[in-house]
Chain A
Amino acid sequence: MKSLNTARSMLAGPALILLVGALVPLLLTSGFHLRLVTIICIYTILCTGFNLLYGYAGQISMGQQGFFALGAYAFTLLMSAGNWSFWSALPAALLICAGVALLIGIPLLRLRSHYLAMATLCFGLVFAGIASRWIEFTGGTAGMMVPSVKFSGHIVSRTELYYAILLIMVLVLVMQNFIVSTHMGRALMSLRGDETAAQSLGVNVTAWKLRIFILSSVLAGLAGIASAVVNRQVNPSFSEFPILVSILTIAVVGGLGTRYGALLGACVVVIAPQGLAAFGESETIIYGVCLLLFLMFMPHGLSGLIPKLFGRIRRKAASPAPGVVKAGEIKP
C-alpha cells in the first residue's frame, strides 16, 4: 500500500503535466505562445537541478548558468565543428558537463554556504570570459548558429521540438520525485539540515554532495542544449547574469525544496515580462515590487501557497455549518 502511494506521488503530478502539456499546441494558434511554453519547460529543467542541489541538499551554486552555457556550447561545437550527429553530440555534451562538474566539484564542495556560492560563481564568470574572448573557437560575442535538428532528412518542427522538450521535462520531474521519495531524498535533506549529524548517521556526505552537484550540472547542460536548439544560436549571454537572476527568481517565486516549485516559478518568470510589457517604463518597477511582495508574504513561494489554500478549503469543508450538531454531540 505504501509503495503504491509512493508511486502515485511520484507519477501523478508529472502525468497531469504531460497531459496538459500535450494539449497546449492544440489550444495555441501562435508560434510565439508555443515558444513561451517551450522556454518554461527549459527553465523547469534548469531549475529542477538547482532545486535538488540547493532546495533539498542545501548546497548553493551560483554557477549553474556556466553549465547551462557549457552544455549549449559543447553540443553546438560537436554538431557544427565536429560534424557529430545529434544522437552523438547530445550525450557527449552531457558527459562533458558531468566531467567538468566532477573536476571542479571535488575541490569546491569542501566549501560551504557563501564560500561555495562565490566559488561556483567564479566558474560562471570564467566561462563567460572564455566564451566572449576565445573568438576563433566560440565566435565571441556574436556566438554561433546552431544547425537545425534533422532526423533522416526531416527537419524537426517547432511543435515537435516542444513535445520533445516537454517529455524531457516530465522525465526530469519524475526523476526528481523518485529521488525525493526514496532514501536518496532523505540523505540529501540530511545534508541540508546538518552535515555532521548526517555523517554520524552513516550518510557519505562527500559522495552525496558530489553526486547531486554533478546531476544538477548535467540538468543545467541539458537545459542549455534545449535552449540552443530552440534559439538556433548560442552566445556568451547563456553564461551571464540574466540566466542566474532567472534561476534565483524562479526559486523565490516557485518555492525551494518543493516538487513543482520550479515549474510554477518558471511560468511566472517567463510569462510576467510579456504581460508587464503593457506597463511600458513602469514595467521593471512593478516586477521588482511583485518580487519583494513574494519574499515578504510568500516566503515558500507559490508551492507554499497551494497547500495552504487546499488546507483552508478542506478545513472549511470539514467544519460544520452553524447550528448543525454532529452525531453524539450534545447541544447546550
Chain B
Amino acid sequence: MNKTTNQDPVVVRNPTPSWRAILLCVLASMGSAAWAGTPLRVCYVDDRSGVAADTGIQSFNGFQIAVSEINDAGGINGQKVEVVSYDGKTDPQLTATFASRCAEDDGALAIVGGNPSAPAAAMIPVASEYEIPYLMLSAGTDNLTDMPAPFHFRVGPRNAQDAAAIAELIARQGFKRVALINNSLPFGTDSAHATEAALKTSGVPVVIQQTYDINATDLSPQIGRLRSANPDVIVVFPYAADGARVLRTLQQQGISLPRIVARSALLNTLRELAGDASDGVLVPNTVDMQRPDVKKFFDSYKTRFGEAQPTMYPVLGYDAAKMFLQAIADPAVQKALAADELADARVAIRDALIRNGNYQGLQGHAGATYQFGPDRHHGPPDQNWFVFVQVADKGKHLVAADLATFKPGS
C-alpha cells in the first residue's frame, strides 16, 4: 500500500494498485475494505486533467486547506482526516467507478467533487446505492438535486441561478436591448434559455440570440448579426476557448458595448486566451472579496498554492470540506464511528449535513448562508449569493465590478 505523507499536514493516500488484485484473483480475495481503525477518510473525485481541470485542481486545493486546518488543530476527537483523491478526467464512467471504489474499497465517509455536470451526475447513483453522502461542487445542471436526492448535495449554484443574477443585474443597470450569444453545448443553450426567460420576467427584451458551434473558428457571421440588432449589452455563455474567440471577434469588429460572460470567464484559460479583449467584462461569481474571512482564505491559498484569482472554485472545495468536517464532529456520527459502524456513520453524516443546513461558508455576501434542508439538497439560496467581478489587466486579474460605469452607452 503506497502511503505518501506530504510535508503539509494533509495526508494524501495514494490509492493502492488494486488492479493487480483483479488480475490475481486470489490476492484480490484478501483486499477487503478494512475501515475500522483507520483515520477518518474522505474521497475527492473530480476532473484534474481533462477539459475542466482548472476547476477540479482549484477546488481540490481549497479542499486540502480545510483538511489541513483541522489536522493542524489535532484532528476530530484526536483522529486525523485522510484524503483519497482520484482524477476522473471528465469521463463519467471512470468517475462513477472511482466513486464506487471510494464507497467500497476505501471505506470513505463521504465523497466530494464534481465540477463538470456529466461526471457529477454519474456519481449520484453510486451515492444512492451505497448510501454515502456526496457533496457535488459547481455542476450547474438545474435538476441534479431535484428530489429524491437521498445522499447527494450541491454546494455550487445551479445554472438558473446564474441566469437570474445576470437578468437582475441587466434590469437594475437600466439596459433595454439585450443580445445573447451562446455555444451549442448544453451549458450554453440551457443558460441562454434560462436568461431569456428571466429577462422576460423582468420586462427586458432580448433583441437577438445567436448560437455557434463550440469548435467554430470564425465567429464573424454571428457577431455581425449581433451588431446589426443594435443591442446595448451583450451576454455570452461559452466554454473557455470559444469564449475567448467571441471576445476577440467583438474586439476585432470594434464592438465596445458592455459585456457579461457566464462563470466560464472565471477560468484563467478563457481570460489568458482573450487577453485585453476580456478587460471590462463582468462575470457572475459567488465570492465577495470585501469579506475578511474570504480575504484570509485567499491569502492562505496564495501561500500554499500560489496566487489564485478570487473565484468560486477554491471556495467550493473549502466550504464542502468544512461542512463535511463539521458533520463528522456531530455526536451521532461520533457514536457510529465509536461503534465501528461505517454505514450508520454515513447516514448520520447525511443527517448532520441537513441539521447544519444553514452553514455560513465563504460563498455569498456576508451573512448569507447555505439553505440545505430535508427537502432541499441544493445549498445556495436565490438571494445575496452572487457578486459580480470585472476582468482587468489584460485578463490577468478579477477585481470588484465598477457598476457605476456599467451602464447603457458606456
Contacts and interface: CB of A to CB of B under 8 A. Distances in A.
B105 A140 contact: no
Given A30-B104, A141-B118, A35 B20 contact: no
Contacts of B100: 31-32, 35
Given A30-B32, A33-B31, A36-B22, A142 B121 contact: yes
B144 interface: yes
B18 interface: yes
Given A32-B97, A39-B97, A237-B122, 9 more contacts: A28-B25, A141-B141, A233-B124, A237-B91, A237-B119, A240-B118, A242-B92, A242-B94, A274-B22
Given A275-B19, A280-B14, A235 B92 contact: yes
Contacts of B77: none
7 contacts: A29-B32, A30-B31, A132-B186, A139-B143, A143-B121, A233-B122, A284-B89
The contact size tier of chain B is 35 or more
Contacts, number: 136
Interface string B22-49: 1101101111110000000000000011
A284 B86 CA distance: 12
Interface string A58-96: 000000000000000000000000000000000000000
Interface in A223-266: 227, 231-233, 235-237, 240, 242-243, 246
Contacts of B103: 32
A277 B87 contact: yes
B117 interface: yes
B17 A278 contact: yes
Contacts of A35: 97, 100, 104
A273 interface: yes
B169 interface: no
A118 B187 CA distance: 26
Contact of A29 (B15, B20, B23, B29): B29
Contacts of B91: 237, 242
B342 to A, nearest CB: 13
Interface in A1-53: 23-24, 27-33, 35-37, 39
B94 A273 contact: yes
B189 interface: yes
B121 A233 contact: yes
Contact of B87 (A31, A243, A275, A283): A283
Given A39-B97, A235-B118, A284-B49, A275 B104 contact: no
Mostly helix, strand, loop or mixed at chain A's interface?
helix
A143 B122 CA distance: 9
A237 B92 contact: yes
A175 interface: no
A31 B28 contact: no
Interface in A125-143: 129, 132-133, 135, 139-143
Contact of A30 (B19, B33, B92, B189): B33
Contact of B23 (A32, A143, A246, A271): A271
A294 B403 CA distance: 58
Given A33-B22, A237-B122, A28 B28 contact: yes
Interface residues of A, number: 46
Given A30-B32, A142-B121, A278 B21 contact: no
A233 B190 contact: no
B185 interface: yes
B128 interface: yes
A281 interface: yes
A278 B121 contact: no
B2 interface: yes
B69 interface: no
Interface of A: 23-24, 27-33, 35-37, 39, 129, 132-133, 135, 139-143, 145, 227, 231-233, 235-237, 240, 242-243, 246, 267, 271-275, 277-278, 280-281, 283-284
Contacts of A139: 143
B125 interface: yes
B101 interface: yes
Contacts of A141: 117-118, 121, 141, 186-187, 190
B16 interface: yes
Across the A-B interface, give the 8 residue pairs with the lowest CB-CB distance, nearest first. A275-B19, A232-B125, A32-B104, A237-B92, A271-B19, A27-B25, A29-B32, A242-B91
A240 B2 CA distance: 34
A37 B22 CA distance: 8
A280 B89 CA distance: 12
B252 interface: no
Given A32-B104, A231-B122, A235-B121, A271 B22 contact: yes
A47 B113 CA distance: 31
Nearest to B31: A30
B14 A278 contact: yes
B96 interface: yes
Contacts of A271: 19, 22-23
A145 B122 CA distance: 10
Contact of A33 (B28, B98, B184, B190): B28
B189 A133 contact: yes
A280 B16 CA distance: 12
Contacts of B101: 32, 274
A233 B125 contact: yes
Nearest to B87: A283
